[in-house]
Each structure stands twice: as structure tokens, then as C-alpha cells.
Structure 1
Amino acid sequence: MDALETIARAPRRPTRVDVLITAPLLTWAVIEAFTASGPGLLWQRVLFAVCVTLPLVLRRRAPVAVMAVLIGVLMVRIWLIPGREDSTFPFPSLLVATFSAALHARSRAVAVAAGIAPVLAMLSLFPLGYHESPTSIGQMFILGFFVAGAWAGGWLVRLRAAQAAAARADSARLADEAAAARWESVRLAQEAVVAERARIARELHDVVAHSLSIVAVQAGAAEELIGLDPDSARAHIAAARRTAREALTEMRHVLDVQREGGPAAAVALAPQPTLERVADLVDEVSAAGLPVRLVIDGERGTVSAGVDLAGYRIVQEALTNVRRHAGAVETSVRIGYGDRWIELEIRNAAGPDGDRAGARTAGSGRGLVGMRERVRLYGGTVTAGPDGDGFAVHARLPREPQ
């Protein structure tokens, strides 16, 4: 069922507008029947006036039936009481009925048939000799012109209503699709967070295992030297205590990830890289065709193993995004070691087509989600967005997890 038929099949009842249209026409027709002379008796003229106006109250509920009644009454009047001077001729009523039939008919075919019906009714008057009088021919031509105009007006309003209904339906459909897309985006983001937490947990597993092995080595060395060189033994014990503290901190983060629902699988991985290996990463991507300049400010000093790994992964992900989205463009990596914070800044120029790394919408966006999740895990901050003609990622990580 198309939009036109959907509008036509909507339930209708006589409204205040229908009454306001019908009442003046009925009053006028009855007054004309009483005051003007014409063919037929008074009661016939009054009855005729009522029959051609009162049905207009139902013009929405049964538009075609109303038009059929009006035409039928008119034909009966003309054929039974012929006369060309008819003061109660239902000219306004016929126009209203024609307009209503074109607008409210149940289907387009019925609406078109309702527009043809008045023409056939006028042609049926020819046997009475109406075509022999120039005045009658002119009146019929004028009547046909106005009837056609009324039908065209109703049809245009019908089309406009159908367009409005289709627009509302499209708007509702687009709203539903947008809502579904938002939910899908939320679902994908949640999946990305869960996957990234699982990966972080696996990486921290190796970090913690490595730290514990160092503690064991330092404790063993201290045990061997405690009688021979107490100062060296104390140094080993201090290193073991520091490493153990870091290991406990990393284990706490692993437990936090699992408590929040991230599935941490115990998968054996190779030792993970640190910020010290960023230079190797820069050499690797430069060899792949991405010109990268590395700048290191400050003294590295002691960096938590988990923070070290997170910083390396952030630089790695940012360089991957540059290569994937902007191509071989000039890129700079800056690592600033402060007293309490480590600053990471990866900045690239615009691509050959003006594209910025990360600015396209075709990607899944999981890289940035992973960066934010890593930084949030250690109490840092990260921002990523357009910078001049290019794109920049800026991360701030604490030396010790918070």
C-alpha cells in the first residue's frame, strides 16, 4: 500500500470544519429555495437544497458516496423537473464534494473516477437540449472549469500530504537507524575496551613474572654477600625491595582489570619492549618508508615496568596510525622524562591529499581506545586530534603507577 492509499484509509469522523462548511451552504440553499423563483414546488426546491448540501458533513468519511449522492440528486432534479432557471443549482456544494473526493478517496483510481463523474453527468444533459443554447454551453463550460480546478486542488493537497507522511516515515526510519548505529558503536567500543584490557593483562603477566625473577636473583645475591660485603648485600636488598614494590603494583592492576570484567588469559608471551626500544621502533618504521625524527629530553632514570611498556605501545600505535592514514609524511616523536611524569608527543604533517592521521572515519577507532585505556590504567592522560595541518597525540604518564 503506497503513501496515498495509507492516508486515504485513515479513520475519519465528521469534524468541526465539515460542519462549518456544510451549515452555511445549507442555510444559503434553503433561503434561495424560499426566496427565489424556479421550477418545481416550494417543498421540492427545499428538499433539493437539503439533499445537495447536508451530505457534505460526511465528505471525509465517505467522499465518493457524497459526490454520487450530489450528482444523483442533481440528475433527478433536472430530468424530472427540467428548467434552465434553477436558483438552487448546487454549484458550491459540487465543488466541495469534488475537492473532497480527490483528497480523501480510498485509492487513486477511485479519486480519478470521481473527477470524471461530473463530466459524464454534464454530458448526460445533452438529450435535454442543453447543447443547443449558447448560454447553457457557456454555463457548462464554466462549471467544468471550476470542477476540474477543485479536483486538481484536492489531488495536489493529497500528494502533498503523502509526501509529508513519507518524509515523517523516512525521518522515523533514519532515527531508528541512527539509534541502532549508536548502540552498535557502544557495543564495539565496549568490545574494544574488553579486548584491550585482556591484552594489557597478558602483557603485565610477563612484566610481573620478570620482576619476581629479578627479586629472586637480587635476594640470592644478597644472601651470598651478607657476610662478605654487607654494603653490596644491602644494595641488592634495596633493589629487590624496589622491584617487589613495582611487581605488587602491577599485580594490583592486573586484578583490577579482571575485577572490571576483562578476560585475562594466561598466555605466555615474550618479554615486552620498553621506552628504551623506541629508537629501534623508529629505525624500523623509517626503514619501512616513514620518515621519523626522535627527540629525547631529560634523564630516563627509573621507570615502572608497566608504564614503560604502556609508553612504548602508545608510540607504536601512533606511528602505525600515521603510516596507515597519512602515508609517508614527516613525523616527530618526543619523549620527555620529568621528575614525576613522562611526556610523549607524536606529531605528523598532513598527507599528500591533505589527510591527517586519525582524521578519517573509515577506521574502527580501536587504536585510540587502546591508548586511553592504557593511560587510564596508570593514572595518566592522553589527547589526540588535529594540530595545524597535521595530527598530534600527546600522552602523559606517571613514572610510578598511581
Structure 2
Amino acid sequence: METPKTLSTVRLAAPLLTNSGVGVGVAVLSLAGSLIGVGPQWISSPRPIDAVAVGLVVVVAGAVALRRRYPVSVLVVLNVVALAWSAFHYPGRLVLLIPLIACYTLAALRGWRWGLAGAGVTAFTAVVAIRVAFGAAEPSGIAGVAVWMAATAGAAGAAVGYNRAVLVATRAQLAREAQTREEQARRRVVEERLRIARELHDVLGHTMASISVQAGVGIHLLASRPAQAGEALSTIKHISDQGLTDVKAILGVLRADGDEPDRPRTPPGGLDQLDALLDSVRAAGVQPRLTIHGRARPLPAAVDLAAYRILQEALTNVVRHARASTVQLDLHYEPAHVVIRSRDDGSAVGPGQAGANGQGGHGISGMRERAMALSGQFTAGPHPDGGFQVRCTLPTPDQA
């Protein structure tokens, strides 16, 4: 099995071998062209290939192999080789075209500004080499062709470099978008877990509080009034069954996601279940009084659930902590809002209500988080006329 270090070595060796192969191939091709005399003849008799010519060809091979690592230096070296080749009047002129490779590489790697500079240097070198090689017998238009070829090489390199830069930027953008989607997915998972935890807290808190009250009543009446103790036990069973149903429905949302990922998550709860909630409060010995202001209407699912859970938590605090006999509930249906108010006639100060009003426990903070998540307003605290009050305003934007 190949280790990461071995794979890295292979990746580095592959382009090095490729560039070396290209360098050797260019050198061999230029030397072969010189031996067979490719291109127009110089004005004087060409100089035969000697050790200096072979040395220049070796320099060409090494420079072409290193063109990507040192593009500027390679451009200078290849232009010097072209000048030397023409000055010594070696046969064949393929060597004079090799600087175009460096010009193209420089523009592709460094951008159009460097490409423009490289094309200018290459064009100037080519014109000088032509004048040195041909003198007064310079063929017509050959200098213009040399300048055009240098400009073309620089422009082609700049276009390729720009295309590569666009591809790199596009890939980076796609990678960032993929990372953003992953982060959003993780954040949604965390938010969903918090929401489900909040649902379980509300359901279990209300259920256990009601069971605790009914169990206390049953214990108290077991000896003196067995019939009423039996009613308390029946109420406990009903409350437990309802609590288990709600918990199963909430947890069922988790299990259903694997088979139906696009199915809307709708945990139980809503103002249409308010009567059952008030029955459990009555069974706990507290008389709720519900007043609806305005015309009742269906609410958005998120608002409906939040309103129900806030009322449920408020009533749970009343049953557990307030030592109240009655609790007044008001629902105000306004054009763009629904206002919820709960006020009991119990003790506004004490261990239980201290927990409820934020000095301990999580009931009030949970209600506040629900309201803030919907851009609502929430207040809770002792009422000036006695008792404890919870007030929440939830916007209904799709009905405004």
C-alpha cells in the first residue's frame, strides 16, 4: 500500500519528467533541423555543427525543462541562445523559434502584463537575430512575421493563464459553497436537536407536574376518600397516556427523516389542543379561565406551536409553583399578531416562581427563546395587582 509520502513524491516526479521530456524533445528537434538545414540559408556559408552548437542545444533542453519553475530566467536564456545561434551562423533556424515557448509560458503563469513584456523582449531579440544573420539581404517581411509570432505566443499564453485562473476561482467558489452547505446542514441539525429537546422539556415538564399534583391528591385522600383517590389515579393514567403519545410523536419525527427527508416536521401541539391542556390543569386543582379576544383564525404552524407550548409551560409553572386557585388566560387575535397572556392569583414570589421568573430552571428562558425565534416579544414577572403574569406577542407575517 502506498503511503501519503510516496504519493506526494510520485506527484512531484511526474511533471518533472514531463518537462524534462519536452526539453529533450525540443533540443533534439532543433538539432535535427540544423543538421538538415531547415529554413532559409544565411548570407554566408553556415558554420558546421560543433561542440559550441551542441552546448547551446543542451542549454535549450535544460531551460525548456525548467520553464515553469523559472519562467523569466528561461525567457532570457533562450533569447540569448537564439542570438548566439544566429551570430555564429549555425545552420537551421528552428532555434530562433524556441524563445516563443518561454514567451507563452511566462504569459500563462504570470498574466498578460508579464506576457506583454516577454513578447516585447522576444520580438526585439528576433529582429536583432535576423539582422545579424541576414544583414542587408534580410528577406522582405521576415521581421514583421517574427514580431507577429512573438505577440501571438504572448497572447495565447495570457488567454490560457486567464482560463486557468477562472477554473481555479470557480473550483474554489464551488468548494466554499459546498462547505457552506455542509455548515448550514450541521447548523440545522443542531437547531433541530435543540427544538426537539425543547419540545420534550415542555411535554415532560407539564406531564410530570400534573402527575405529581394528582399523586399528592391521591395519597392525601387514599385513606379518607378512596373514591376521589381513584379518580386521581385515573387522571394520572390519562395524563401519562397523553404524555407518552406526545413523546412518541416528537421522537417519531427523528425516525421518519431517513425515509422521508423532505417531509415537513410537525411535532404535536397547537391551540386546537388547548381544551385538553386546560382539562389537565383543572384536574390538578387550578381553575383556568380562557377569554378569546377578536376573531379566532388558523395561525401559521410555527406560531401555532409556539403559542401552545408557551401556554403549556406557563400553566405548568402555575400548577407546580404558584399555589394558585385560578389562572386567567387571554388570547388576542390582532391583524398581524397574536397576543398571549397568562396571569394567576397565586404567590408571585417564592422558590417556585423564582425559578419561573428566570432565577432558576429553564421554563421562562425556553418560552423566551420560542418567542425570540419568531421575532416576537416576551415578558414574565410579578403583576402589580398580585400573582404572576406571562405575556407574549407573536407576529403572523403571512396574515398581515
TM-score (norm 2): 0.52
Cα distance, 1:249 vs. partner? 6.6
Report what 1:160 is aligned to.
Answer: 163
Cα distance, 1:21 vs. partner? 3.2
Render the CA deviation track for 1:144-183: whole Å, top value 9, x for unaligned. 2122212211111111111222222222222222222222
Report what 1:121 is aligned to.
Answer: 125
Q: Distance in 2 between matches of 1:151 and 1:58?
A: 18
Report what 1:77 is aligned to.
Answer: 85
Deviates more, 1:154-163 or 1:204-213: 204-213
Aligned AA (1:29): S
Render the CA deviation track for 1:37-75: whole Å, top value 9, x for unaligned. 752233155444444455312222222222211111222
SS at match of 1:274: helix
**Distance change in 2, residues 1:215/1:49 (3 Å):** closer
Report what 2:64 is aligned to.
Answer: 56
Q: Distance in 1 between matches of 2:223 and 2:243?
A: 23
Picking from 93, 98, 101, the partner of 1:88 is: 93
SS at match of 1:61: coil
1:68 aligns with 2:68: no
Q: Distance in 1 between matches of 2:276 and 2:34?
A: 103
Picking from 97, 104, 126, the partner of 1:99 is: 104
- Is residue 102–residue 111 contact of structure 1 (8 Å, CA) maintained in 2? yes
TM-score (norm 1): 0.51
Q: Distance in 1 between matches of 2:196 and 2:89?
A: 88
The Cα RMSD (Å) is 5.0
Aligned AA (2:161): R
Render the CA deviation track for 1:87-137: whole Å, top value 9, x for unaligned. 2342442222222222234x765444322211232454587596865625x
Aligned AA (1:78): S
Report what 2:234 is aligned to.
Answer: 242
Q: Distance in 2 between matches of 1:45 and 1:160?
A: 38
Deviates more, 1:184-193 or 1:22-31: 22-31
Picking from 172, 190, 195, the partner of 1:192 is: 195
Aligned length: 271
SS at match of 2:69: coil
Q: Distance in 2 between matches of 1:129 and 1:73?
A: 14
Unmatched segments (≥5 aa) in structure 2: 1-10, 249-272, 280-288, 300-304, 313-332, 338-371, 375-397
SS at match of 2:154: helix
Report what 1:320 is aligned to.
Answer: none
SS at match of 2:139: helix
Report what 1:395 is aligned to.
Answer: none
Q: Distance in 1 between matches of 2:154 and 2:201?
A: 70
Q: Distance in 1 between matches of 2:241 and 2:35?
A: 104
Aligned AA (1:18): N
Q: Distance in 2 between matches of 1:254 and 1:277?
A: 16
SS at match of 2:98: helix
**Distance change in 2, residues 1:154/1:248 (3 Å):** closer
1:173 aligns with 2:176: yes
Q: Distance in 2 between matches of 1:123 and 1:199?
A: 87
Q: Distance in 2 between matches of 1:50 and 1:254?
A: 84
SS at match of 1:90: helix
Cα distance, 1:196 vs. partner? 2.8
- Is residue 101–residue 114 contact of structure 1 (8 Å, CA) maintained in 2? yes
- Is residue 56–residue 66 contact of structure 1 (8 Å, CA) maintained in 2? yes
1:41 aligns with 2:48: yes
SS at match of 1:135: coil
SS at match of 1:40: coil
**Distance change in 2, residues 1:53/1:252 (3 Å):** closer
Q: Distance in 2 between matches of 1:245 and 1:11?
A: 73
Instruction: Percent identity, please.
Output: 15
**Distance change in 2, residues 1:194/1:23 (3 Å):** same
Report what 1:275 is aligned to.
Answer: 276
SS at match of 2:68: coil
